[in-house]
Amino acid sequence: MAEDLTDYLMEHDVRVRYIHSDVGTVERMEIIRDLRLGTFDVLVGINLLREGLDMPEVSLVAIFDADKEGFLRGERALIQTIGRAARNAKGKAILYAAHITRSMQAAMDETSRRREKQQAYNAAHGITPQTIRKKITDVMEGAHVAIKAKKAHRERDKETMPADPKAAAKLIKQLEKEMLTHAKNLEFEQAAALRDRIKHIEQTVYIEQA
């Protein structure tokens, strides 16, 4: 659907780019940098949480299939995704859905509560909301950090890669617990990294045993 949406927007002369799982870390960061520079206007992706996006230029976040309950559409994930527009003074989020789920309602209620609290604080202290300023180069610095983290995971995998499916299942169970802990703490980038590591272990061990 993400690719179809990208094609549709391109057909209507919208400057758009698409991030998918095959795009490398550096290229992803370059795409994000180009969005911040205004090279294009819309970024489409299946799971943009894993990109660690923190871009004050983003004024609109559109969440498709918001009513599809799951890891990426749970209450915490929705709050985190909606928050991607919070850096912009005119930021807003639109949730597309056939009906309002419990997670959607909870996320909207929490977002409204935070907004009301912030508005009250601003009024009491005479603060006018402004879009934060962040250097474009910070995005590329983030890419280098991500590359180092990925290399560290690979080295760790070499040391702890289980020799048989039974040991692999035990390790995967442990990593899944860590992944869920990160997700509950809204640390979605770390959760996504562990998810990728689990997938790598499954493919490596079970393919070798086949």
Q: How far apart are CA 13 and CA 156, in angstroms?
A: 46
Q: 103 and 11 in one domain?
A: yes
Strands 42-45 vs 92-95: parallel, antiparallel or unpaired: unpaired
Q: 53 and 142 in one domain?
A: no
**DSSP helix/strand/coil, 62:** strand
Q: How far apart are CA 57 and CA 8, in angstroms?
A: 23
Span of 36-50, 80-94, 187-201 with lowest mean pLDDT: 187-201
Q: 147 and 60 in one domain?
A: no
Backbone angles phi, psi at 118, to 5 degrees: -70, -40
pTM of the model: 0.62
State the DSSP code for 85. G
Mean pLDDT over all residues of the chain?
Answer: 80
**DSSP helix/strand/coil, 16:** strand
102, 125, 148: which is the final residue of a domain? 125
What is the reported pLDDT for 145?
54
Is there a domain that residue 131 lies in? no
Q: Which amino acid is at 161?
A: M
CB count within 10 Å of CB 35 equals 22
What is the reported pLDDT for 157?
58
What is the reported pLDDT for 119?
92
Do 183 and 193 meet the contact criterion of CB atoms below 8 Å apart? no
Q: 72 and 12 in one domain?
A: yes
Q: 6 and 64 in one domain?
A: yes
Mean pLDDT of 24-47: 81
Q: 83 and 23 in one domain?
A: yes
What is the reported pLDDT for 8?
93
Do 161 and 201 meet the contact criterion of CB atoms below 8 Å apart? yes
Q: Which of residues 209 and 172 earns the better pLDDT score? A: 172
DSSP 26-39: HHHHHHHHHHHHTS
Res. 159: pLDDT tops 50: yes
The number of folded domains in the chain is: 2
Q: Which of residues 161 and 30 earns the better pLDDT score? A: 30
Q: Which of residues 75 and 149 earns the better pLDDT score? A: 75
Of the pLDDT bands very low, low, confident and very high (cuts 50, 70, 90), residue 210 is: very low
Q: 144 and 102 in one domain?
A: no
H helices present in 19-99, as ranges: 25-37, 75-82
Is there a domain that residue 132 lies in? no
Res. 209: pLDDT tops 50: no
Q: Which of residues 123 and 18 earns the better pLDDT score? A: 123
What is the reported pLDDT for 207?
47
Q: Which amino acid is at 159?
A: E
What is the reported pLDDT for 158?
58
Res. 181: pLDDT tops 90: no
Q: Tell me what percent of the residues of the chain surpass a pLDDT of 70.
A: 74
Query: What domain range is 9 assigned to?
Result: 2-125
Res. 185: pLDDT tops 70: no
Q: 111 and 19 in one domain?
A: yes
Backbone angles phi, psi at 5, to 5 degrees: -65, -40
DSSP 106-121: HHHHHHHHHHHHHHHH
What is the reported pLDDT for 208?
47
Is there a domain that residue 55 lies in? yes
Q: 141 and 60 in one domain?
A: no
Backbone angles phi, psi at 75, to 5 degrees: -55, -50
Q: Which of residues 119 and 203 earns the better pLDDT score? A: 119
What is the reported pLDDT for 138?
54
State the DSSP code for 49. G
Res. 21: pLDDT tops 80: no
- Looking up residue 117, the CATH number of its domain turns out to be 3.40.50.300
Mean pLDDT of 78-84: 88
Q: 151 and 53 in one domain?
A: no
- Residue at token pair 């045993």: 209
Q: 56 and 102 in one domain?
A: yes
